[in-house]
Structure 1
Amino acid sequence: MLTRHARPGVLRKALKLGVQGFVSKAAEPAHITEVIAALHAGRRWIDPEVSALAVVDDCPLTDREVDVLRVTADGYSVADIAARLHLAEGTVRNYLSNAMRKTQTRTRHEAARYAREHDWL
């Protein structure tokens, strides 16, 4: 996966989906070429810095809370979030409430901003 979102939360999600390689688009072209060659040879390659952050990451949010906050950060309403994630609006409100409690924020937008600043999204 070549991504501009080389953060621990994105790495964890990518690994759950079966990604064998994970590198930032900001990497030097020669490095990206080396990673592609390693993957082509059947090896796995994960950015060591992002991997280290993912290991020590102390994100208290569940995967679903992260999903809801990610869509919230895009500016969608609760109804739109529910539709996009195939959830009931009440379920979205519960996830948002839990995320706000865990991040000690007052609004869902503050919670999303907090999560993004901590590289949880």
Structure 2
Amino acid sequence: MKVIVAEDQGMLRGALSALLDLEDDIEVIGQAENGEQALQMIQELVPDIVVMDIEMPKMTGLDVAEKLKEIRHSCYVVILTTFSRAGYFQRAMKAGVRGFLLKDSPIDELGAALRNVYAGGRAVSPELAMTFWEAENPLSEREREVLKLAAEGLAAGDIAKQLFLSAGTVRNYLSEAIQKLEAKNRIDAISIAEKNGWLA
């Protein structure tokens, strides 16, 4: 199987590629240091699988996965992460990601996961799966939008203008979100939502 490795940390990218290349049935045909480069490389080299970090400059691993789904590319996506954030997982599943693994997984585990995905299956680290099933995003789409804009520092009036709502409605959404997240205030709600990846 032909694989592209996308990871912004050079040393990790090199080590991962070298280790995967040692496997008899895996050939690393490209390495990308950011999401934009990864997307371009996938379109040019047409790998079977791309192994991507979730947090990368220019485009995140999830942005790339969503774009590949949009253009109906045949390349399977396997995400590597250090974060067990439920919101990321939910977004990844919607984007058709086939594998979601921890960065510190042993290389033979990654090899086995890639073979599983290549055969049409899925692969999720057991430690991540437990966290994700337990933490479902309680926010509605609108509450998430409002909270995301609040996280960018916008006041209720500015959020209202941007979303074509009244300031009162925005305040209602914010107070709903604070209540659902059992937060003390708006700042606390943003912090809880970000920590869980629910604003992704």
Match of 2:138 in 1: 60
Q: Which residue identity is paired with 1:88? A: F
1:77 alignment partner, one of 150, 154, 164 = 154
Determine the C-alpha separation between the residues in 1 that align with 2:182 and 2:84. 25
The Cα shift of 1:25 comes to 3.0
2:111 counterpart of 1:33: yes
Higher strand share: 2
The structure whose RCO (Cα within 8 Å, separation 6+) is larger is 1
Identity of aligned residues (%): 31
Please report the TM-score for the alignment, with normalisation by the length of structure 1.
0.65
5+ long unaligned stretches in structure 2: 1-78
SS of 2:101 mapped into structure 1: strand
Aligned-residue CA RMSD in angstroms?
Answer: 3.2
- Would the alpha carbon gap of residues 64 and 10 (structure 1) be closer, same or farther in structure 2, given more than 3 Å must change? farther
Q: Is the 8 Å Cα contact of residues 102 and 128 (structure 2) preserved in structure 1? A: no
1:8 alignment partner, one of 58, 73, 86 = 86
Match of 1:112 in 2: 190
SS of 1:19 mapped into structure 2: coil
Q: Is the 8 Å Cα contact of residues 71 and 81 (structure 1) preserved in structure 2? A: no
1:88 alignment partner, one of 161, 164, 168 = 164
5+ long unaligned stretches in structure 1: none
Question: Could you say which structure has the larger radius of gyration?
Answer: 2
- Would the alpha carbon gap of residues 47 and 81 (structure 1) be closer, same or farther in structure 2, given more than 3 Å must change? farther
2:102 counterpart of 1:21: no
- Would the alpha carbon gap of residues 114 and 28 (structure 1) be closer, same or farther in structure 2, given more than 3 Å must change? same
Higher helix share: 1
The Cα shift of 1:7 comes to 1.8
